[in-house]
Amino acid sequence: MPQAALAPTPSVANPSSKRFPWAFVASLSLAQLVSWGSVFYAFTLFMEPMNRELGWSTPALTAAYSLGLVAAGITAVPLGRLIDLGYGRTVMTGGSVTAAVLLALWSAVESYPLFLLVWIGLGATMSAILYDPGFAVLIRRLGATARRGITAMTLIAGLASTVFLPLTHLLIESFGWRQALLGLAGFNLFVCAAIHAVAIPPQPPRSATEPRQAPPSGAGRVLRKAAFWSFVATILLQGVLGTGMSIHLIPLLVERGFSLDAAVAAFAVIGPSQVVARLFVAFGERALGLRAVGLISVGLWLLAFALLPFVPAGSWLVIVFGALYGGANGLMTILRALLPPELFGREDYGTIQGFIATPSTFARAAAPFAFGALWAWAGSYGPLLAIGFGMSVATLVAFVLTLLWAEAPSERV
């Protein structure tokens, strides 16, 4: 994104200022932690009590989640474009308010069609409240200093599963799943929406500040680059496996003989591992470079899914899997934010991130339902273990192709 898009206004920090707006970054990061924890990660814990009370099967429940991800893919580009034009506060505040309303509606569902509609809406809000809009707001506000902000945001938000899986589990056990959803709705309304409304500056549309200095072909220029599509394939493969596993990991471990508490604890290791990996980026990226960080990420991903089939019930090796999985996911998240500007430039950051998100989100949308259908067909999660290893190999190949096809680095964040 050019400096014209980052021109300071009375409410926009000057990127060249020596005083870094840590309060702004910390506020948005807290909102990310709550949004990820309450909207994305918590779903897996509601499957069992909803199945018990309402009789809806695992494939039926995950189908709703998949439809939500389809909605997220459809809305990614237009919402990214709105943020590029300066409407970040409207997009993110509106997304959090909508998420709160929909979580409250979810708490009252008795009809499966209504549940599907709720999750289509929640999916659309993901494109307004999760990482892509958060990164775009940071890029627009901080300009050339956004790297520190993005790293800090992913460090804090990486704790979402660690905080919200045990918290949501406790709320369900103490008050029931319907009341737990009302509690999560409150977090979105009184924490996330309030932060977005207060912390994000009311930036005017880009045309109201300075003329836009876009490349002749605009954001669509990246669609002609082979490196762009191999990078999309990397994100798509990692996202499909990561999304499917985030929904099915706990029931997979329970099926393999782990207790529910042990499975939740193993999942909770993922969050701290993401944080450790992002600290590694914060302190080691300048020495290694983003490309090396990417190779480490896909290498850890491959090791994790090579190990998982051999973890026996009750073994501490499940913690190693969680650490490898979390580390790989943590590195890839920050790489997804920082590598595209290095490869393709900062202009139209939000729109380009939407281009990346749309195909990968559509593919991720199929993952929970497909994994659930595979479980129903096979009668176990055994085939998923082999699929996980194969997809991790394909992720490594796609990222290596990205590096081979990439042009010389352009303007860095």
Superfamily of chain region 21-207+219-405: MFS general substrate transporter like domains (1.20.1250.20)
Q: Which of 326, 28, 282 is nearest to 151 (CA)?
A: 282
| 346 phi and psi angles, rounded to 5 deg | -90, -15
Domain locations in the chain? Answer: 21-207+219-405
> Which of these ranges, 7-16, 154-163, 311-320, 346-355, has the smallest mean pLDDT?
7-16
End-to-end CA distance of the chain: 9
pLDDT in tens, 162-221: 899 899 999 999 999 999 999 999 999 999 999 999 999 886 555 434 444 444 456 677
Whole-structure pTM value: 0.77
Q: What is the largest CA-CA distance in the chain?
A: 61
> How much is the pLDDT for 213?
46
Q: Report yes or no: 138 and 15 within 8 Å, Cβ to Cβ.
A: no
pLDDT score at 100: 97
pLDDT tops 50 at residue 2: no
Interval 339-389: pLDDT, tens: 888 887 777 788 888 888 888 888 877 777 788 788 888 888 888 888 889
d(CA 11, CA 334) in angstroms, rounded, equals 27
Q: How high is the pLDDT of residue 3? A: 35
DSSP per-residue codes, 148-169: HHHHHHHHHHTTHHHHHHHHHH
Beta-carbon-side half-sphere exposure of residue 129 (alpha carbons within 13 Å): 34
Higher pLDDT residue, 279 or 71? 71
In whole angstroms, give the CA distance from residue 393 to residue 381.
19
Considering only 233-247, 355-369, 391-405, which range has the smallest mean pLDDT?
A: 355-369
Integer Cα distance of 286 and 28 in angstroms: 25
User: CA–CA separation, 137 vs 200, rounded Å?
Assistant: 8
Q: What's residue 313's pLDDT?
A: 83
Average pLDDT, the chain: 84
Per-residue pLDDT, 200: 92
Helices (H), 55-145: 58-84, 88-106, 112-129, 131-142
Residue 256, pLDDT score: 85
Least confident of 42-51, 107-116, 126-135, 279-288: 279-288
Average pLDDT rounded to a whole number, residues 108-130: 95
What are the structure tokens assigned to 67, written together?
């439809």
The 10s digit of each residue's pLDDT in 241-264 is 887 887 788 888 888 888 787 788
pLDDT at 10 over 60: no
pLDDT at 407: 60
Given a cut of 80, whether residue 271 has pLDDT beyond it is no
Least confident of 88-97, 241-250, 292-301, 317-326: 241-250
